[in-house]
Amino acid sequence: MNTTKIGKWAIQLLACTIILMGMNTNMQAQDDSENEPMLLSISEFTIKTGHNLAFQEGVKTWKSCYLENDGKWTWNMWYRMNGEGTVYYLTSYSASWTDFAAEDPAGQACYRQAAELIMPAVEKVEDHFSWTKPEWSLTPGDSQNTVVEVAYFRVKDRMIFNSLVTDVMEIIEESQGSKRSMWYESQGGGPDGFHYMNVFPYENMEALDEPVESAWSIIAEAEGEDTRDEYYEDYKNSVENSWMYIFRLNEEMSHSEGDE
């Protein structure tokens, strides 16, 4: 049975009919189809001031109810470490939009926990949908990454940007043996939202202290500084704005396939 389908109705219940989907960067949902694009959905929870603990406990209670009712859906909950306010990302993958039509009896059984324990602590929820870009991305592995740096790009010339990223990812792969990160292309969104998202995974917080060579440095070493400068001009000509957040996985609020 496709567990990504089972989870869709559960999340609708979890948010009291608000669709809540998102980014699962351990990439479990892609194990069987790593070369096929997957639909990544992110539900961004902004928590009311002073309600962080209530939100955490509410999600844990809902999770216990869901698993007791033999729920099959898996998800990750990420805490945003920088930026304004207290924000969590709830994340999950789907194979297609059709998956959203599926129901989940376990989620229905736990509606009350979502309505009474989770949503009163939430100030707002914003949903994002993106397709994975396998041709640009790190091949999914078996390890669980508990920290990610997420860079967002709002672009003004998609053609230049697509060509730039394609070339840069090929150079990085040839030089480093891996593309190192995962890319996503936004599906819809508001007038000030991102168009592309790049996720750089880390095994743990300690890994953030290890030096990481920048893409521009890798290009200069592999192709020379003139080529690096040409690509940087393409970047400036194609990108309108960019920003970055760091997220840490909350395992107690998440549920993976291997969990009891």
Taking all residues of the chain, what is their mean pLDDT, rounded to a whole number? 86
What percent of the chain has a predicted confidence (pLDDT) above 70? Answer: 84
**Residues in CB range of 119: below 8 A, 6 or more apart:** 15, 16
SS3 call for 220? helix
Per-residue pLDDT, averaged over 81-110, amounts to: 89
pLDDT band at 32 (very low <50, low <70, confident <90, very high): very low
Could you tell me where the DSSP H helices lie in 15-115? Answer: 52-68, 105-109, 111-113
Residue-wise pLDDT for 112-139, tens only, equals 888 899 999 999 999 999 999 999 998 7
Q: What is the pLDDT of residue 154?
A: 97
Examine the pLDDT at 164 and tell me if it is beyond 70: yes
pLDDT band at 30 (very low <50, low <70, confident <90, very high): very low
**Residues in CB range of 147: below 8 A, 6 or more apart:** 201, 202, 203, 204, 205, 207, 208, 246, 247, 248, 249
**Domains in the chain, start-ordered, CATH in brackets?**
3-131+249-253 (3.30.70.100), 134-246 (3.30.70.100)
Please state, in angstroms and rounded to a whole number, the distance separating the CA atoms of residues 242 and 162: 15
Q: What is the pLDDT of residue 188?
A: 85
Residue-wise pLDDT for 38-77, tens only, equals 998 899 999 999 999 999 999 999 999 999 999 888 899 9
Q: What is the pLDDT of residue 72?
A: 85
Per-residue pLDDT, averaged over 77-93, amounts to: 96
pLDDT band at 10 (very low <50, low <70, confident <90, very high): very low
Residue-wise pLDDT for 169-211, tens only, equals 999 999 998 899 999 999 988 888 999 999 999 999 999 999 9
Q: What is the pLDDT of residue 66?
A: 93
Please state, in angstroms and rounded to a whole number, the distance separating the CA atoms of residues 64 and 116: 15
- What letter represents residue 141's amino acid? G
Examine the pLDDT at 3 and tell me if it is beyond 90: no
Per-residue pLDDT, averaged over 18-33, amounts to: 39
Per-residue pLDDT, averaged over 229-248, amounts to: 98
